[in-house]
A and B are shown apart, each in its own frame.
Chain A
Amino acid sequence: MIRIGVDTGGTFTDLVMLGPAGVSVHKVRSTPDDPSRAIVSGIQEISGSTGGAEVVHGSTVATNAVLERKGARVALVTTAGFEDVVRIGRQTRRELYNLMQEDRRPLVEPELTFGLVERLGADGEVLEAPDLAAARRLAQQLSDTGVGSVAVCFLHSYRNSAHEDAVAAVFEAAGLQVSSSHRVVREYREYERWSTTIVSAYVTPIVSRYLTALESCLFGSRLSIMQSNGGSISASAAKAVAVRTILSGPAAGIVGARAVADMAGYPRVITFDMGGTSTDVSLVDGAISTTTESMVGDFPVRLPVIDIHTVGAGGGSVAYIDRGGALRVGPLSAGADPGPACYGQGTMLTVTDANLLLGRLDPEYFLGGRMALDIERARAVMLPLAAELKVSELALAEGVVRVANANMERAIRVVSVQRGFDPREFALLAFGGAGGMHACEIADTLDIPTVIVPRYAGVLSAFGALVADVTKDYSLTVLRAGDAASIAQLDELMQPLVAQAESDLENEGFTLGPGTAYVTKELDVRYLGQSYEITVPFAEGFREEFDRLHARRYGYANAARPTEIVNLRVTATGVTRKPELPRTEVSGPIEAVPSRIGPARFGGKTVDTGFYRWEDLAAGSVGHGPAVVAGAQATAVVPPGFSFRIDEFGNLLAVRGVAQGGRRRQNTAVAVMS
């Protein structure tokens, strides 16, 4: 069966197909009012049919529902006395010194919040049974008022689910759609669990409708969805756990980036996705890093998601001089409309304008020649700022790029240094519209030795959807003394999670077996008394591994201090068929020939720079900076002192000094999944 990865973006819907003849790529204009139209016509165009394919989809439906407030009307039912837990949150304000900060806008209307008499103790013991008669009255009232779904959130339900189950059954019997907190995430800390549950209740109806409609348009095909954790899941299963698709699109991008880096021979990369308004960075240390501490808009979502750190600096970020006389870039962005000045409409100086003035964008071959750039307009918005700072326009342009880079370097430090990783041991993989123009200079500042700009930078998310494995994750808070718990006891506690994982894999169509469909077990461990956990593989000696990771991340460990096991984690993985990318054998280095030589600005000097068209460069081509390599999907800027080569997949690899020709390692061109 052919497989198709699909990513829905704001402007384009990207498709990557793995068919009998290999991989092919297609782009169609998105249809934001109903994303499925573009998907269906794209699939029709790329494969000639809408049936008989396996389609894996990175969707923004759930995210947009939250960000644009288009989700379901949700009723919230909590333990009586705790109705405002989610309103209060952690009782903190977002900004310390801003007297005019806005309040968070809750997803649940205050008049749809209800307290129900029931209470469990911290060990799950019943202190007061749920008032089911009141629940029935409420169910009647809610079905009369027509709410879209109900979030049932009781204290300590991670310990004992009986009360939530009993009350959920009452609401379901009345025909209401229910999200119970222990089913969404079985972990302690009520605010985060309940918030996740409300988001789930908020997005489930809309995602479910969307998937049902899409499935019927793709009759005969099998539809799967990317989840925030970087794995895919069948559409039918996704309808029940829609909240797990909330960062579907960005997750697909990281999976794609990782697969490309792996093929290129770099299993350890920092991905760097620079778009128009923001930049996403993430760290891949062999495996993709996940976190359970993410936020969607104002709301914590305590489910495993790919650990992506976002900063408000992108190609459209606006440069200005503040009252103290310092040059600042972002977070204000010119966005897509009006966009950078050089696009022809904008009136503010952006990072893209600065790149153009520096000669780092080829005005004749922007987006492969699909869009003309207005350099005079960029210069006109630059001049007043340069005059105010009393510097030349080129010095200012370089400054704008440096300040933007500084913001992005800080983001890379957050995902690497702050997590105990040394960025010098990683490669930097740049994608998104502007990533390749900044990556070398950023890598240089952080002493990152290698930069990778994928040839298919523009369709990495669709590619990621195509190569993603099927995964599901399960967790359970246990709060047990780590040193008293035996492996056998823990294993027993994990059994229900494992059984569920195995049955879910079988429902996804997999047969259990090593390397094809398997279950991995992990523990969240901390020193007794701490509040943050480190996830370690579940095995004899997990204690030593915990000490080792603690020391790496925080600089110290104490083998004598007792530990606590907070959560059990189980992940089910079903391995999918991986595409073989078109690969050209590289015999030896070929000197790349620029299409022209022109001026560009680096390090305060204007220097003769080679301008290359990516599509003209054969595998094995080598060249040196200063160079601008412009392709249909990405532009790579290679500063003086760097050299580059094109690998067998068409990716550009840049290093400081002289690039080695040929391949870095013998590699079977298949993304190896762990």
Chain B
Amino acid sequence: MSQRKTKVDPIEFEVFKNLFVSVAEEMGVTLCRTGFSPNIKERLDYSCAVYDAQGETIAQGDHMPVHLGAMPLSVRAAIDDVAMEPGDIVVLNDPFRGGTHLPDITLVSPVFLGHEKRRPAFYVANRAHHSDVGGMTPGSMPLAREGYQEGLIIPPIRLARRGEIVQDVMNLIRANVRTPDEREGDITAQIAANRVADTRLREIVEKYGRRRIDSYAVALQDYTERVLRITIAGIADGVYEFEDYLDDDGFNSGPIKIRVAIRINGDRAEVDFTGTDPQTTGGVNANYAITLSATLYGFRCLIAEDVLYNAGIARAVQVIAPEGSIVNAQRPSAVAGGNVETSQRITDVILGALAKALPDQIPAASQGTMNNVTLGGLDPRTGRRFAYYETIGGGMGARPGLDGISGVHTHMSNTRNTPVEALEHYLPVRLRQYRLRKDSGGDGSFRGGEGIVREYEVLTETAVTVLSDRRKGRPYGAQGGEPGQSGRNTLINKDGESVIPGKATLTLAAGDRLRIESPGGGGFGAKPESA
């Protein structure tokens, strides 16, 4: 490329890094402040990024790790399917076209500069988790057998054409979801976020010139690649293998094996999932985008510097995921839980394998699930339908020299909780307890973090879906540490208490309770003999 010829100054590098980071940050602020789904505004379940003219990531904000590898694939799908013109916005959520799972809706916008009308200079995109996109159950995180049951599938299509919303598309989305006004509000917030980025990028180019911006965009990608390669080169050459299991898929009995072999060769890593179990009926299938995200996340954690997450990180790591396996599921498999559950187990096997090479750096397993709870029904106070989704933190694995943190989201998620006072104000639900789960962390020289106990009482008939894992298996300990406690889901109704499966759909009557106890983290190092 001709732009590469402009000399990159190691001193100015940081200046341009700041510029691109500011753009992604500003998109995030706009989205979070104006969103309507609790998932966006309270839980920050979204990601924003800036791409070059080829659709390669220049800078992605520090938002959701599980969106890392997937975002560029959705930009790629938008470029391939739609000949974007100035003012167009492409919307998509298709998990097999760069989506993660259906509730994650992505908006991709081209950024055209002044006179240059033929080809965009940049793309910007943001992805946000919507509270409902239709399908079998409110919240659109059902226990489905195929993707078509999970909700509305949107391939890359225009949501806006030359600056005008395509009302037909908006109407189609509205007609397929349980809470259409909220959806439209969230999409409006997403549009605003892309618009902010468009304005900023034009300002930056006007100030510094296209050539310089382009060459520093390349330099930012090269830099991330370089730092990762230096990091990989510090790992001894060899093959490092690990396997771990998902409990089940909610239909067939498990466990489901995920296996990885990481081959380190100089400054390159090959991550091979051959030997992983085939895709399955229930929605724990991960598409390739998710497997890529989880893998890149594992390698990103090895880098001490605050490098930008961008296309450079994917260049040093090659991912081999057999088609039709649970880490590269094919259409029309159900994927709602691949994003939230399987992604965590993929992270566990990546870090487990790396621990064999780097025993002094890699922690024990964290809770390994996001404990997804969706609630839906008719609110008797307002006569309106509600659909609500949340995830629950748990124990972090103990680290070399440090206990694991308690009651926190780990690895592929970092979404906030909804305040009890907000939840109870807006939904016909009451919480009976929200506390740390004592003694759930694994023992060791350093203890795993504690899980959480969160107990809901529904005040009206409520459809509930729970999607959780590590209810049979336990988060592994490291270097002789004990594993963390498995999680447990309990139904409390007029018949008393009964433990329910990790993945379940049920209808609760008014007054019934559901108690979720999330897993503790694994311990690190053998516990010293007591004197």
Contacts and interface: CB of A to CB of B under 8 A. Distances in A.
20 contacts: A82-B434, A82-B435, A84-B436, A85-B434, A91-B415, A92-B415, A93-B408, A96-B62, A103-B406, A122-B425, A189-B421, A189-B422, A190-B419, A326-B17, A327-B11, A391-B11, A403-B11, A529-B185, A530-B34, A530-B36
B410 to A, nearest CB: 7
Interface in B207-261: 223-224, 226-227, 230
Interface stretch (A7-15, A356-364, A371-379, A555-563): A555-563
Contact of B305 (A322, A410, A556): A322
A196 to B, nearest CB: 14
A531 B402 contact: no
Interface string B393-433: 10010010111011111100011110111101100001111
Given A99-B362, A324-B230, A403-B14, A531 B407 contact: no
Interface size class of A (residues with CB under 8 A): 35 or more
Contacts of B417: 88, 90-91
B315 interface: no
A93 B410 contact: yes
Interface in A391-406: 391, 395-396, 398-399, 402-403, 406
Contacts of B393: 88, 91-92
A84 B434 contact: yes
Contacts of A102: 402
A81 B433 contact: yes
A530 B402 contact: no
A122 B424 contact: yes
Given A93-B410, A100-B402, A156-B421, A555 B11 contact: no
Contacts of B422: 188-189, 531
B409 A93 contact: yes
A605 interface: no
A612 to B, nearest CB: 29
A578 interface: no
A389 to B, nearest CB: 6
A129 interface: no
Contacts of B62: 96
A136 interface: no
Interface of A is mostly: loop
A98 B402 CA distance: 13
B332 to A, nearest CB: 32
Contacts of A103: 402-403, 405-406
Given A91-B417, A324-B307, A555-B192, A410 B403 contact: no
Given A88-B436, A556-B192, 16 more contacts: A81-B434, A91-B393, A92-B44, A97-B301, A97-B303, A99-B362, A99-B363, A189-B422, A190-B419, A325-B10, A399-B12, A403-B11, A410-B18, A417-B26, A527-B36, A554-B192
B402 A554 contact: no
Contacts of A234: none
A191 interface: yes
A396 B12 CA distance: 11
B407 A88 contact: yes
Interface size class of B (residues with CB under 8 A): 35 or more
Given A93-B405, A532-B33, A324 B305 contact: yes
A102 B305 CA distance: 17
B227 A87 contact: no
A418 interface: yes
Contacts of A100: 399, 401-402
B129 interface: no
A326 B13 contact: yes
B272 interface: no
Contact of B416 (A91, A101, A532, A556): A91
Interface string B451-478: 0100100000000000000000000000
Contacts of A189: 419, 421-422
B500 interface: no
Interface string B115-153: 000000000000000000000000000000000000000
B48 to A, nearest CB: 13
B188 A558 contact: yes
A522 interface: no
B468 to A, nearest CB: 15
Contacts of B44: 92
Nearest to B429: A122
B513 interface: no
B42 A531 contact: yes
Contacts of A121: 424, 430
Contacts of B408: 88, 91-93
A323 interface: yes
A402 B35 contact: no
B15 interface: yes
A85 B307 CA distance: 33
Query: Which of A99, A189, A391, A409 gathers most chain B CB within 10 Å?
Result: A99
Contacts of B415: 91-92
Contacts of A396: 11
Contacts of A96: 62, 65, 414
Interface in A77-119: 81-85, 87-88, 90-93, 96-103
B111 to A, nearest CB: 15
B350 interface: no
A161 interface: no
Interface in A564-599: none
B29 interface: yes
Contact of A418 (B21, B26, B223): B26
Contacts of B431: 81-82
A529 B40 CA distance: 11
A413 interface: yes
A356 B452 CA distance: 54
Contact of B22 (A398, A403, A413): A413
A46 interface: no
Nearest to A401: B11
A156 B424 contact: yes
Query: Which of A93, A98, A409 gathers most chain B CB within 10 Å?
Result: A93
Contacts of B503: none
A324 B227 contact: yes
Nearest to B438: A84
Interface string A398-434: 1100110011011001100110000000000000000
Query: Which of B22, B44, B181, B230 gathers most chain A CB within 10 Å?
Result: B22
A479 interface: yes
Nearest to B32: A532
Q: State the 5 A-B residue pairs at the shortest beta-carbon distance, nearest first.
A: A399-B11, A81-B433, A91-B393, A531-B41, A90-B416
A328 interface: yes
Contact of B12 (A155, A188, A402): A402
A141 to B, nearest CB: 21
A389 B13 CA distance: 13
Contact of A561 (B10, B185, B224, B425): B185
Nearest to A188: B421
A327 B10 contact: yes
Contacts of A410: 18, 21-22
A558 B185 CA distance: 10
B424 A529 contact: no
Nearest to A193: B421
Query: Which of B182, B195, B408 gathers most chain A CB within 10 Å?
Result: B408
B392 interface: yes
B300 interface: yes
B415 to A, nearest CB: 7
Contact of A82 (B35, B307, B405, B420): B420
Contacts of A328: 14
Contacts of B436: 84, 87-88
A529 B35 CA distance: 8
Nearest to B424: A122
Nearest to B65: A96
Contacts of B25: 414, 418
B196 interface: yes
A396 B14 CA distance: 13
B30 interface: yes
